[in-house]
Structure 1
Amino acid sequence: MHLFSYFWLLISIWSCLAAAPPRTISKRGNSSFVSSSEDGFSVNGSSLRFVGTNLYWLPTLESNDDIWNVLKNISDTGIKVIRIWAFNDVEIIPGSGTWFQLVQDCTTTINDGPNGLQKLDTVVQMAEQQGLYVIMSLTNNWNPVPDITSSGTPSRDVLISDTSPRNTLSNDYGGMDLYVRQFGLQNHDDFYTNDKILTAFQNYTKQIVLRYLNSPAVFSWELANDARCNSTLPTSPTCTTQTVTKWHAQMAEFIASIDPNHMVSAGTSGFQCTDCPKLYPITPRASPTPTPSPAPGKKRSRVTPLTEEQIIRQRAGTLKEDGVLMKSRWASTATREVSSSICSTTDGSYGVDSQDILNIPNIGFGSFQVFPDQNTYAPNDPNLDAVHNKINSSLAWIQQSAQFAAAVGKPLVLSAFGLVTQSNLNSYVPFNMTCAPYASSAAAMGVTAAIMDATTTTNFANDTQQAQGYGSFLQMGNSAGLGGSMQYQWGSTGITQPGTAIQLDTTNSSSPAAATGDSPNDGYSIANSTAVQQILQQGAQAMAVVS
């Protein structure tokens, strides 16, 4: 797309967003804690819709000034909610840097020191001072072992891809597989079913929840990032969607029993299973009196669960090719070829039924994620290039996800969305890997097909396409009635202290003290993307609702 057309598109997107009238909900008291209902989120008696961002690495920064400056930049953008890792598990106490919990030989030890949970205290306190809310994720589905030392012990200090320190990647903070390994078990899904692991995880969760019980800065307790049956460790044949749903219900009930103030949320990718047996089946509600289509930003009424037939039908249709975004979809001349079966995002093969999880009584709202470089959300249109197929399928996924949540009657948040750019390929590490497969140095590490040629590189967005896609995602989220949309991930320049995951640039510094560096980058950082930060700012202004 020509540059002029690109800017015309952005103006059109934000004109549509800004035109959305404020959505009011009934006031439910003046509590300073965020709550949810069928109408959405509210706080202090007013409705809340938001644009947010992810920064898993924030508690690893050594300098309080750095933490403050990062949060101030985010707040100045108009972003209201951040999502961080409220866990940092290690198998061996590192020589330096942040860690929250030692999990070793079936025992756990919590680090309450200045390089432990006191760092998390600082983040929460400063977020509150900046007027930000924090989604606190309590564990991660992903924790691949990056290296094995000569003694056979997993090394958590250096990644296999290069000399990047621990905590550079979002999957290098411990998580489910670390518990499984250290409790002497074999399968990833043992995390959901083993009584000893469940007790250990509940102990950690209780320490975190009680620590911030009275903090209005906490938006919600997110039980896990991207929970599913499969991960780096093998999956047992007995793991089903009900295994994962039951764990969410058990943990949500546990947290609700000790914290009456904050919502509990799931952090799944939104995967669904239309035909799986349900632990929490939806009771169809009576259809409301037909009304005109709601304005952008207002929730559409849905009264029945999503079905396989609907998914297949939504994929069909004739679209006009004219190179512009029409009704939030990239268009082609051909009628799209539609598969007669649903794909892995909706057939239960990941062991996740997000609609069933959302219908758990103690779950306050749902979440889903958009990572089209790592997941396939719909069959490709042969008349579109790879990047526009990724954008188009993501928009369809947003619509589809909003429909499954509306059938439950709870708010839905796009908790993470990201497109990898060609300029970020050297840093891009998929969530279940420990190395950057497209980095120029990867071939020397024995990574298959590491060097990308010009043709395959164009499968990834350029900077303009990324900004264009993000604007489209926000527009679609707004029109679909999402409670919030969160970009993955924020990036910052000028970090003044190395921490555990910051590599300082000393090439142009007269002294080490003057050196600064960038925040960690797993391929999604927007540290150097002014265009994306402006889009987030405009989106935040359009999504904000004060009533």
Structure 2
Amino acid sequence: MKLSNAVRLSLALAFLEGARSQVSEWGQCGGIGYAGSTTCVSGTVCVEQNDYYSQCLPGTASSTSASVTSSTTVKPTTTTSSATSTASAPASTGFVKTSGQMFTLNGSPFTVVGENSYWVGLMGYSTSDMNKAFSDIAGTGATVVRTWGFNEVTSPNGIYYQSWSGSTPTINTGATGLQNFDNAVAAAKANGIRLIVALTNNWSDYGGMDVYTHQILGSSAPHDDFYTNDQVIAAYKNYIKTFVGRYVNEPTIMAWELANEPRCSGSSGTTSGTCTTTTITNWASSISAYIKSLDSNHLVAIGDEGFFANTTLSDTYPYQGTEGIDFQKNIQISTLDFGTAHMYPESWGQSANETLWGVQWIQDHANVQKSANKPVILEEFGATTNQVQIYTQWFNAIDSSGLTGDLIWQAGSTLTNGQTPNDGYAVYPGTDVYNLVTSSAAALKARG
């Protein structure tokens, strides 16, 4: 049959339109609020990751097109579409729990080992770049990544999770907000990674506590009002309710953290002069209980540096309690499931004895872990010189002390637009440190 030129043109345009409407590998193909194509390219299938995000993942199913059904949900107040598929998700079933000093998953030991990647959901990366980043981390044998679940802004731009107009905050649930975090969760799931998510920052990076205090109480408000002022606490709880509530049933989230490195003082340096270890302990007890009231599925930790208030262990700065953290007291809080510690001896005035000071820091936290009978992880640590030599001894100390797990600061990848942020600690694939992290992960897994 001979076709006219007009018919040929019509068919060609239809073919091109169909090709354009197909979603590429790792792209979004469904979820609440999604209005794009639900047809994945050949060799991939649309897999539901959570209510808000379905993703084209490698594999096959009875159809490469997601079946779309209309549904009304209590999360947004509009009627939208949700994509489903006959394929099963590639990872993340069951919630991580604790048993004594161990983490468990579906009744078996779960080794917490991995890296920090604060940037993965905040830099506007594509879904393919997010997947590349998590793939690089997973290549070390990692099981967990710690990341930021916050970005407070007063002038909305790029990726942000909450914007402030005067004292009024608005949570961004759109494509540049929590929907973007959905993408990061989906990418972690696709690579078999669980997430520890910090919900605010002690420091000014990506907003943090001082945005709450300054917007609500004024620019001269002391940093530690974040822990005691009723209006500030109510605003933070409102954010927690929305963010945590969105992922209550998502097992890719391993744990929530109250903050990254809470202290009496922050970047502004302004304090009330009345903040003590009791101030932050009381706050941690209250906020962790609040999260548990919203979400019984996930673990909760403070996200602190593990500072002691016990000079009988050492007279060095991190043991003196001056920052408002008492690790030995905080780990006893019933609504906290595990303890956290960070370690930067060089920054803490211990550069002359960096390696051995770190070994003792690890042992001291392992001792508290045993007495409290709760897991403790060294969830941030780093050195900027002699990394292989120093990390080798620190990893050996983690293994031999029985400390439950570790997350090095920080992951590094080379993505579409170049390398991810590097503050002198980033661990890129193909380096000696990357290989050391890989062998250490294997050792911790073998320890059980």
- What amino acid is the match of 1:492? S
Give the conservation status (yes or no) of the 8 Å contact 2:152–2:160. Answer: yes
1:263 maps to what in 2? Answer: 299
1:219 maps to what in 2? Answer: 254
1:531 maps to what in 2? Answer: 432
Partners of 2:93 and 2:187 in 1: how far apart? 20
Give the conservation status (yes or no) of the 8 Å contact 2:188–2:195. Answer: yes
SS at match of 1:486: strand
Partners of 1:245 and 1:541 in 2: how far apart? 35
Deviation at 1:32, TM superposition (A): 1.1
Deviation at 1:180, TM superposition (A): 1.3
1:84 maps to what in 2? Answer: 147
Partners of 2:139 and 2:424 in 1: how far apart? 24
Give the conservation status (yes or no) of the 8 Å contact 2:201–2:262. Answer: yes
Partners of 2:93 and 2:180 in 1: how far apart? 27
- What amino acid is the match of 2:120? L
Partners of 2:342 and 2:309 in 1: how far apart? 16
CA RMSD of aligned residues (A): 1.8
2:325 maps to what in 1? Answer: 352
Partners of 1:407 and 1:401 in 2: how far apart? 10
2:25 maps to what in 1? Answer: none
SS at match of 1:470: helix
Give the conservation status (yes or no) of the 8 Å contact 1:136–1:220. Answer: yes
Gap regions ≥5 residues in structure 2: 1-91
2:410 maps to what in 1? Answer: 489
Matching residue within 266, 277, 294 for 1:231 = 266
Segments ≥4 residues shifted beyond 4 Å: none
Q: Could you say if the C-alpha distance between residues 231 and 212 of structure 1 is closer, same or farther in structure 2, counting changes exceeding 3 Å?
A: same
1:132 maps to what in 2? Answer: 193
Deviation at 1:114, TM superposition (A): 1.0
2:23 maps to what in 1? Answer: none
1:50 maps to what in 2? Answer: 112
Deviation at 1:232, TM superposition (A): 2.2
Give the conservation status (yes or no) of the 8 Å contact 2:101–2:370. Answer: no
2:288 maps to what in 1? Answer: 252
Matching residue within 141, 154, 176 for 1:115 = 176
Deviation at 1:31, TM superposition (A): 7.9
Deviation at 1:39, TM superposition (A): 3.3
Deviation at 1:68, TM superposition (A): 0.6
Instruction: State whether structure 2 residue 419 is matched by structure 1 residue 518.
Output: yes
Give the conservation status (yes or no) of the 8 Å contact 1:188–1:229. Answer: yes
SS at match of 2:135: helix
1:419 maps to what in 2? Answer: 383
1:183-332 equivalences under 5 Å are 183-185=216-218, 186-233=221-268, 234-274=270-310, 308-309=311-312, 311-312=313-314
Give the conservation status (yes or no) of the 8 Å contact 1:268–1:369. Answer: yes
Partners of 1:184 and 1:198 in 2: how far apart? 12
Partners of 1:359 and 1:491 in 2: how far apart? 35
Matching residue within 36, 41, 52 for 2:103 = 41
Matching residue within 354, 360, 369 for 1:396 = 360
Instruction: State whether structure 2 residue 162 is matched by structure 1 residue 101.
Output: yes
Give the conservation status (yes or no) of the 8 Å contact 2:136–2:429. Answer: no
- What amino acid is the match of 2:428? A
More strand as a share of residues: 2
Between the two proteins, what is the percent identity of the paired residues?
A: 37
Give the conservation status (yes or no) of the 8 Å contact 1:141–1:228. Answer: yes
Partners of 1:373 and 1:525 in 2: how far apart? 16
Partners of 2:423 and 2:228 in 1: how far apart? 31
Give the conservation status (yes or no) of the 8 Å contact 2:339–2:374. Answer: yes
Partners of 2:316 and 2:430 in 1: how far apart? 33
Note the alpha carbon deviations across 1:264-289, whole angstroms, 9 max, x for none.
Answer: 11111110113xxxxxxxxxxxxxxx
Deviation at 1:129, TM superposition (A): 2.0
Partners of 2:447 and 2:394 in 1: how far apart? 22
Partners of 1:42 and 1:475 in 2: how far apart? 23
Q: Could you say if the C-alpha distance between residues 242 and 109 of structure 1 is closer, same or farther in structure 2, counting changes exceeding 3 Å?
A: same
Partners of 1:103 and 1:194 in 2: how far apart? 18
2:132 maps to what in 1? Answer: 69
Q: Could you say if the C-alpha distance between residues 529 and 468 of structure 1 is closer, same or farther in structure 2, counting changes exceeding 3 Å?
A: farther
TM-score (norm 2): 0.76
Partners of 1:128 and 1:546 in 2: how far apart? 25
TM-score (norm 1): 0.62
Partners of 1:489 and 1:190 in 2: how far apart? 30
Deviation at 1:78, TM superposition (A): 0.6
- What amino acid is the match of 1:343? T
Give the conservation status (yes or no) of the 8 Å contact 2:343–2:380. Answer: yes
Partners of 1:64 and 1:50 in 2: how far apart? 25
2:371 maps to what in 1? Answer: 407
SS at match of 1:414: strand
- What amino acid is the match of 2:404? G
SS at match of 1:254: helix
1:131-150 equivalences under 5 Å are 131-143=192-204
Q: Could you say if the C-alpha distance between residues 354 and 217 of structure 1 is closer, same or farther in structure 2, counting changes exceeding 3 Å?
A: same
Give the conservation status (yes or no) of the 8 Å contact 2:201–2:209. Answer: yes
- What amino acid is the match of 1:360? I
Partners of 2:156 and 2:318 in 1: how far apart? 38
Partners of 1:534 and 1:399 in 2: how far apart? 24
Partners of 1:468 and 1:366 in 2: how far apart? 27
Note the alpha carbon deviations across 1:424-473, whole angstroms, 9 max, x for none.
Answer: xxxxxxxxxxxxxxxxxxxxxxxxxxxxxxxxxxxxx1xxx211211221
Give the conservation status (yes or no) of the 8 Å contact 2:101–2:376. Answer: no
Partners of 2:93 and 2:117 in 1: how far apart? 27
Deviation at 1:546, TM superposition (A): 9.0
Note the alpha carbon deviations across 1:290-325, whole angstroms, 9 max, x for none.
Answer: xxxxxxxxxxxxxxxxxx44x25xxxxxxxxxxxxx
Larger Rg belongs to? 2
Partners of 1:195 and 1:226 in 2: how far apart? 21
Q: Which range moved further: 35-44 or 264-273?
A: 35-44
Partners of 2:318 and 2:447 in 1: how far apart? 35
Instruction: State whether structure 2 residue 237 is matched by structure 1 residue 176.
Output: no
Give the conservation status (yes or no) of the 8 Å contact 2:138–2:192. Answer: yes
Deviation at 1:545, TM superposition (A): 5.0
